[in-house]
Amino acid sequence: MDRYVLLLFGLCLFACDQDKEPARTSPNRWADERLWPVLDAQEHRDTEALCALLKHEAPEVREAAALAFASVQDTLGIPCLLAALSDVDMDVRRHAVLALGLVADSATVQLIAERSLVEKDSTVQAAYFSASFLALQRNGLLKDLPTVVYYLERSAGQDRVRAADVVRRLRPDVLRPDSTLLYTALERERDTEVRAMLLRALIKANGPSSKRVLWDAVRPGHPAVERIAALQSLAHVDGGLPNDTLVHWSNDPDPMFQAAVHAQLFERTPTSPEEALSWVDILIGLEITATDHSGYSTARTALDALRKLRLTDPYEEVVRIRTLAAMEQGLSDAELEAMLFSDRPAVERQAAFQALAQRTAQRMMMPRAISFDMQLREAAPFWHQVLASKDAGLICAAAEQLILSQPDHLLVLFPPEVEQQAAASLDPVRDLEAVQLMADLAAQRDGRAAPKHNPPAYNHPIDKQKLLALKQGQHYRITTDKGTIIIATDVDDCPGSSLAFDSLVIAGYYDGKAFHRMVPNFVVQGGCPRGDGYGGMPWTLRTEIGRKPFTAGSVGLASAGRDTESCQFFITHVATPHLDGRYTRFGEVVEGMDVVGRLEVGDVMERVERVE
């Protein structure tokens, strides 16, 4: 172990309980007028002002200022935070440690470890332990399996899941020599979420023992979280899972596991009409089989029926488009282009784009009599047309695919005049993700380093009177056809995010919006105005980092980078420590986690309302 790790693990501390709940005399802590300068400095990313507030006479103000640095994450604040480690108030020291763990460089990591040795309060010691490990991880100083397993065995709660997540992300050449240690840790482990992380790590061990462990873990009887992790790993080892195995598992009685199988099927391409139609039956439940009256096979008859359908649910229509596009004589290029440049819902246009982009790429890889330069010029009009569509989602999707191209190819597929035309159609705030991707693509084309993306200027001030009326832990009911979910918001730590969510709920914004993304054992995400994940509002929020980590049932805000959050939110299936300190966690599920586990792409929020 290197010197940083020795300093940290010499402590051998255990994590402590979360923050104590303060006595309540007002709806939330922002009723204390002394804290408003802290919130103002946090919103404006004013490091100098926060440093001054760390010296305020009131410990409540100093504590709030220390926590605000977790949101600001400015390395210029490191000296102020290091000084705060000597504060007489335990909560000030604890939150200063939390903030330092998010910004510390390798030199600061050593200072944190050294200061931890003289700390007397056990709660602050635990904060040092967690922050030091997080800082070591972020600085790339955790490079061997024994060190991480050592931490895993001596920590608790979220810190244990974080250690397992580090194991999952270690390089194969690091994991394989110590694979016995990984198997031993997995055999001893009893925490379901930690076991799920370690099962994902077996992808990189990728040996006969890995497959045996994974096939055992995927069997019914194991917790759904572990079964899903094993399913995801098996899909990536030695050629992956056969399609017929997934079709068989689609009837599994566990709804969470069944949803994970559906997600796997949705990402695959069927290899025959019969297989394609069985997937349609699974994902939509159409049962479009037909008696053979005209000499066609049943599959051909059913395929003809599928061509004639137009499903009213856009996410079901996506399944139909994807299935037909994968089949010979299913959908022609002309039919897909008609869908692409139409007034269909955004998710349907995205499905048509993905099919056409795949066909364009396949044609360029086929041996042909014309030169590659001629093939590039032949493909260029398609990309030019998509980028000129004035559709921010399609522009994003095109840029995400083209970014893998060589610079000289981009000169043909993404020339400066096409870039300028596309950029002129984008709103700098609402279409921020597209703006950033376009800048990345232009840099790739011109042989420049990827640009640093600065967030939009502060543009969404907090309404003080509305915030003062919003209760800490305010409940909201999300009604879906799968059941009801109740969430509570953390107004104390994430005031701007909680208030923005509350305002959108009161306005009825989320009613009828779909969950457009579901990644098993990770998140379900919804609230996009477009329905395809590329939409936002004409304003942005500041990233707010509170005291609570992303555990199962945490509610967070999606973003395109720091300080770019708006209306899209997600709910975590399991602990997701890699989101800690990076994304706003503004609430948590207090009822209905079983419903969260059953949600799939296309499920609709029929109504979202405040619970009084």
Candidate from 191-200, 367-376, 420-429, 485-494 with smallest mean pLDDT: 367-376
Say which residues have a Cβ less than 8 Å from residue 104's Cβ, sequence separation at least 6: 78, 112, 131, 135, 138, 139
Q: What are phi and psi of 479, to 5 degrees?
A: -100, 125
517: which strand partners? 525
Label residue 6 by pLDDT band (50, 70, 90): low
Superfamily of domain 3-142: Leucine-rich Repeat Variant (1.25.10.10)
In angstroms, the Cα distances linking 347 to 227, 322, 511, 516 are 30, 11, 18, 9
At 293, list the tokens: 């009256």
Q: What is the pLDDT of residue 72?
A: 98
Task: List the one residue out of 148, 199, 144 whose CA is nearest residue 173.
Answer: 144
Q: Over pLDDT 90: what percentage of the chain?
A: 79
Q: What is the mean pLDDT of residues 215-243?
A: 93
Q: What is the pLDDT of residue 239?
A: 76
Q: Over pLDDT 70: what percentage of the chain?
A: 94
At 170, list the tokens: 């270690």
Average pLDDT value over all residues in the chain: 92
Q: What is the mean pLDDT of residues 452-473?
A: 96
Q: What is the pLDDT of residue 9?
A: 53
Are 610 and 506 in contact by the 8 Å Cβ rule? The answer is yes
Q: What are the pLDDT digits (tens) for 500-555?
A: 999 999 999 999 999 999 999 999 999 999 999 999 999 999 999 999 999 999 99
Q: What is the mean pLDDT of residues 14-37?
A: 72
Identity of residue 473: G
Q: What is the mean pLDDT of residues 23-47?
A: 92
Q: What are the pLDDT digits (tens) for 293-308?
A: 444 567 777 788 888 8
Q: What is the mean pLDDT of residues 339-355?
A: 97
At 65, list the tokens: 């200022």
Q: What are the pLDDT digits (tens) for 273-295?
A: 778 888 888 888 877 654 444 44
CA gap 321, 337 in Å, rounded? 12
At 612, list the tokens: 């009084």
In angstroms, the Cα distances linking 104 to 107, 128, 304 are 8, 12, 61
Q: What is the pLDDT of residue 5?
A: 54
pLDDT over 60 at 15, yes or no: no
Are 97 and 69 in contact by the 8 Å Cβ rule? The answer is no
Candidate from 229-243, 383-397, 507-521, 578-592 with smallest mean pLDDT: 229-243
Domain 464-611 classified CATH 2.40.100.10? yes
In angstroms, the Cα distances linking 236 to 19, 183, 289 are 40, 18, 32
At 155, list the tokens: 């920590």
Q: What are the pLDDT digits (tens) for 126-184?
A: 999 999 999 999 998 998 999 999 999 989 999 999 999 999 999 999 999 989 999 99
Residue for token digits 């997701």?
576
In angstroms, the Cα distances linking 328 to 61, 279, 281, 319, 599 are 67, 16, 19, 16, 32
